[in-house]
Structure 1
Amino acid sequence: MATTAYNPFENAQIQFDQVADLLELNSGTRELLRQPMQEIHFTIPVKMDDGTTQVFKAYRIRHNDARGPGKGGIRFHPHETADTVRALSMWMTWKCAVVDIPLGGGKGGVVCDPHHLSLTEQERLCRGYIRQLFTQVGPNLDVPAPDVMTNGQHMLWMLDEYETINNGRFPSMITGKPVGMGGSLGRKEATGYGVVYVLKNLLKELNIPTQETTASIQGFGNVAEYAARMYTELGGKVIAVSCWNQSDNQAYTFKKQAGCDIEQLAQIKDDFGGIDKEKAIDLGYEVLPGEDWLKQEVDILIPAALENQITPAVFPNISEKVKIICEAANGPTTPDCDPLIRERGITLLPDFLCNAGGVTCSYFEQVQCGMNYFWEIEEVFEKLESAMTKAFYAVYELSLEKDLYMRDAAYTIAIQRVAEAVRLRGWA
Structure 2
Amino acid sequence: MPVPPEPLISLTWTDHVTGRQGFLVVDRLVRGVCSGGLRMRPGCTLQEVTGLARGMTVKEALHYDPAARYVPLGGAKGGIDCDPRAPEAYGLLVRYLRATRPYVEAFWTTGEDLGLSQDLVDRAAADAGLTSTVQAVYPLLDDAAAARRRLADAFAVEVGGIGLDALVGGCGVAESVLTALDAAGADHRHARVAVQGLGTMGGATARFLARAGLTVVAVADIKGTVANPAGLDVEALLAARDAYGTVDRAALRPGDRELPDDAWLAADAEVLVPAAVSYAIDAANQERITARWIAEAANMPVLPEAERLLAARGVTVLPDVVVNSGTNAWWWWTLFGDIGDAADTAGEAFAHTRRAMRALVGQVLTRAERDGCTPRAAAHALAADRLPEIAERFGRGAPAHVRRGRATPR
Shorter-chain TM-score bucket reads: 0.7 to 0.9
Distance in 1 (CA, whole Å) between partners of 2:374 and 2:148 is 32
Task: Please name the residue that 1:103 is paired with.
Answer: 73
2:349 matches 1:349: no
Q: Secondary structure at the match of 2:217?
A: strand
**Aligned partner of residue 297 in structure 1, secondary structure:** coil
Structure 1 176/299 Cα, relative in aligned 2: closer, same or farther at 3 Å?
A: farther
1:215-272: CA deviation from partner (whole Å, max 9, x where unpaired): 1111111101110000000100011111113xxxxxx110011101111111222211
Counterpart secondary structure, 2:246: coil
> For the residues of structure 1 that align with 2:247 and 2:277, how far apart are their CA atoms?
17
**What secondary structure, in the 3-state scheme, does the structure 1 residue paired with 2:102 have?**
coil
Please, which of 277, 280, 287 is the counterpart of residue 309 of structure 1? 280
Distance 1:93 1:218 in 2: 25
Unaligned 5+ residue runs, structure 1?
1-16, 21-29, 46-52, 246-251
Partner SS, residue 418 of structure 1: helix
What SS does the corresponding residue of 2:111 show, helix, strand or coil? strand
**1:49-87 CA-partner distances (Å, limit 9, x unpaired):** xxxx54442121111124762111111212211111111
Name the residue aligned to 1:116.
Answer: 86
Mapping for residues 152-231 of structure 1, pairs under 5 Å: 152-161=118-127, 164=129, 170=135, 180=152, 183=155, 185=157, 186-231=164-209
Give deviations 1:112-147, integer Å, cap 9, x for gaps.
2231227xx72x444322321221113x61101101
Residues 1:213 and 1:394: Cα distance change in structure 2 (over 3 Å): same
**What amino acid is aligned across from residue 300 of structure 1 in structure 2?**
V
Among residues 343, 347, 370, which one is paired with 1:378 in the alignment? 347
The letter of the residue matching 1:106 is A
The answer for unaligned runs of 5 or more in structure 2 is: 65-70, 139-146, 158-163, 398-403, 405-410
Partners of 2:131 and 2:246 in 1: CA distance:
38
Give the one of 243, 246, 250 matched to 1:274.
246
Q: Secondary structure at the match of 2:284?
A: coil
Amino acid in structure 1 at the alignment position of 2:85: H
Within the alignment, does 1:137 sit opposite 2:122 as a pair? no
Q: Report the alpha carbon displacement of residue 291 of structure 1 after superposing the two structures with TM.
A: 1.1
> What SS is found at the alignment partner of 1:290?
coil
Assess, with a 3 A threshold, how the Cα gap between structure 1 residues 165 and 148 changes in structure 2: closer, same or farther. Answer: closer
Identity of aligned residues (%): 24
Pairwise CA distance, 1:389? 1.8
Query: What TM-score does the superposition give when structure 1 sets the normalisation length?
Result: 0.79
Shift of 1:409: 0.5
Change (3 A) 1:386 1:372: closer
Tell me how many residue pairs correspond in the alignment: 376
- Aligned position for 1:26: none
Name the SS for the 2:167 alignment partner. helix
Give the whole-Å Cα distance in 2 for the aligned partners of 1:300 and 1:117. Answer: 37
Query: Measured at CA, do residues 165 and 75 of structure 1 come closer, stay the same or move farther in structure 2, by a change above 3 Å?
Result: closer
- 1:367 paired residue number: 336
Distance 1:372-1:36 versus aligned 2 partners, 3 A rule: farther
Match status 1:64 vs 2:28: yes
Tell me the equivalent position of 2:49: 85
Quote the residue 1:334 is aligned against: 303
Q: By how many angstroms is 1:274 displaced? A: 1.5
> What is the rounded CA distance, in whole Å, between the counterparts of 1:229 and 1:266 in structure 2?
8
Question: 1:398: how far off?
Answer: 1.2
Which of 7, 10, 13 is equivalent to 1:42? 13
Q: 2: distance between equivalents of 1:202 and 1:406?
A: 11
- Displacement of 1:276: 2.6
